[in-house]
Chain A
Amino acid sequence: MIVEDAICSFCGCLCDDINVEVEESKIKRVKHACRLGSSKILGHSRIKAPMIRRDGELMEVSYQEAYDRAAEILLHAQKPLLYGWASTVCEAQKKGILLAEEVGGVLDSTATVCHGPSVIGIEEKGLPGATLGQVKNRADTIVFWGCNPAEAHPRHSLRYSSNVCGRFTPEGREGRKIIVVDVRETRTSKNADETVIIQPGTDYEVISALRMLVVGKGDVVPDEVGGVPKAELDGLAKMLLAARFGTVFFGLGITHSRGRYKNIDNALSLVAELNSHTKFVIMPMRGHYNVGGIGQALAWSSGFPMSVDFTRNAPYFNPGETAACDLLAKADTDAALIIAADAASNFPRAAVKALAKIPVIQIDPYENPTTLIAEVVIPSAIAGIEVAGTAYRMDGLALRMRKLVDTSYPSDEEILSHILESVRRMRAGEGA
């Protein structure tokens, strides 16, 4: 059987033209996907059974034993952290938010080690955005700032941005100006008309200089900013002003560097100023396929997009205090549920050491470093491949992921429902 136009569940591009060949409930071949998507869809070795750590060793147990132990950990923790959520569907995320409310925990997503600063910057300034379809059909000038889609979002240029032909962009790459701003030359910069190499940590200054040049106050710009000569920046400002429809795509080069959310704030101001002259939009290059979805689900249920503390009477959001790395650094959490993410690989070492000291429940299809520090391991079905559900593309478009193959593993949503049932049963028992 061939499943046509399946949606890829790797990155925020959510490419929706993937053909998947399925034989006897196994995926045999994948067409149209990039190397990253193919690798994920074709699959890897899985965690075989639920496990609980006893005397330092993970021992296989039944699903019900794992659900009960997970519930016990969450119920008895003062402030459990429920972290991850980027590689699962919104239906599971909704259930996780309910669980966080019921056990009185903090729910945080992988955005806090990724585009969290973008989320904060956008909250402060607002996002002059567009859909990827609009970019494809209209953008004649595209800036990739601190991002390398050629390696992180390999089909972005072919489906949505630099190289695609659209309704009003029939010449594709030939008709567009492509600009890359980065601290190094990358695969993406090989496809650029103009590459501006800045010194690490100077994004804020370079954006400020461009803002001055765009508003006609170039006389206040020094001869060199962030290692870039003023004449080069002036040329870049002119290219931006000459756009009929410009787009800035930005990545972790700008969110992970000095300035963090202020860099985004400043980039949003630059785009606002460009809109006094022409049409310009800006978009974060979201990594995991549904990291946008957890932001949406949290926002519609709590009013906040990440790092939401449900231990008080009302949802509370203060990233430097309620984000996962801050909680761990201050030993302000005493248990963790890690789902659809690998915290042990992606957190700074000090945060991983803090995580290893508290009971960790892992819900994931695959063994990874988080498994090595987990007390309870619950293997799950792969959302977006073995489970249907909703995911949000990097431009905020909600798409329905189809189930491609059958599985014997429970979905993230089912696992969370069972843990919630165990929590309610235990709480009723304790109250009785």
Chain B
Amino acid sequence: MKAIMISGRTLAQGAGCECKMSPDFLKAVSVCHLSREDYSSLGLSEGKNVLLKNDFGQAVLTPKVDAGLRQGMVFIPMGPWANVLVGPDTGGCGTPHFKGVEVDVDATDAPVRNIRDLFRGLWRATA
């Protein structure tokens, strides 16, 4: 499914943002909110995850129904998982496009990576 991704603040993300290495923060931000219609059309159910992919990267997230979203739009709490999908271009003003990002969304059985896994191997990586 093609979708538009927006990232932003949530209460749980804010409450956990000074303890980012904790399981609570992982639970708060490695989540993908979808409309009820998109949740059903992707065949999602308890225990299934979603894989979001675009030219910038890919992330496996826990899906969550959000009645406030329209079909074709997904919301991810701001943080390192959402930013895997954000491109570096700033359009000359210093600020990347953290919202309105085109992504492909599919159901997956792959697990959500924890925060240390997400950054493992990055230090001084040459690739």
Contacts and interface: CB of A to CB of B under 8 A. Distances in A.
Contacts of A357: 124-126
Interface residues of B, number: 55
B92 interface: yes
B122 A350 contact: no
Interface stretch (B43-51, B65-73, B103-111): B65-73
Interface in A81-117: 108, 112-114, 116-117
B93 A349 contact: no
Contacts of B86: 348-349
Interface in A7-64: 10-11, 35-36, 39-40, 44-45, 53, 56
Contacts of B99: 200, 252-253, 256-257
B47 to A, nearest CB: 26
A422 interface: no
A141 to B, nearest CB: 23
B91 A320 contact: yes
A352 interface: yes
Interface stretch (A66-74, A146-154, A217-225, A292-300): A146-154
Interface string B84-106: 11111111111111111000000
A56 B125 CA distance: 11
B97 A258 contact: yes
Contacts of A258: 97, 100
The secondary structure that dominates the B interface is: loop
B83 A369 contact: no
Given A260-B91, A328-B88, A373-B123, A39 B18 contact: yes
B9 A185 contact: no
Contacts of A122: none
Nearest to B89: A329
A387 interface: no
B119 A344 contact: yes
A345 interface: yes
A44 B68 contact: no
Given A148-B9, A349-B86, A44 B18 contact: yes
A255 interface: yes
Contacts of B116: 372
Given A189-B68, A344-B80, A357-B125, A260 B15 contact: no
A189 B68 CA distance: 10
A348 B22 contact: no
B89 to A, nearest CB: 8
Interface residues of A, number: 69
A326 interface: yes
B27 interface: no
A167 to B, nearest CB: 31
A207 to B, nearest CB: 16
Contacts of B22: 44
A257 B91 CA distance: 11
Interface in A311-345: 319-320, 322-326, 328-329, 342, 344-345
B15 A184 contact: no
Contact of B20 (A328, A365, A368): A368
B15 A320 contact: no
B96 A200 contact: no
A252 B75 CA distance: 14
A310 interface: no
B10 interface: yes
Contacts of B9: 148, 151-152, 252, 287
A151 B11 contact: yes
B70 A184 contact: yes
A345 B79 contact: yes
Contacts of B123: 53, 56, 356, 372-373
A426 interface: no
Contacts of B126: 357
A366 interface: yes
Given A44-B18, A319-B93, A366-B20, 13 more contacts: A45-B19, A116-B93, A200-B100, A255-B95, A258-B100, A319-B95, A344-B119, A348-B88, A349-B56, A349-B84, A350-B87, A353-B122, A353-B125
Interface of B: 4, 6-11, 14-22, 56-57, 66-70, 73, 75, 78-80, 83-100, 115-116, 118-119, 122-126
28 contacts: A36-B11, A56-B123, A114-B95, A148-B8, A183-B70, A183-B73, A184-B6, A184-B75, A200-B6, A200-B73, A252-B9, A252-B98, A252-B99, A256-B7, A256-B98, A258-B97, A320-B90, A320-B92, A323-B95, A346-B79, A349-B57, A349-B86, A352-B83, A353-B125, A356-B124, A356-B125, A357-B126, A372-B122
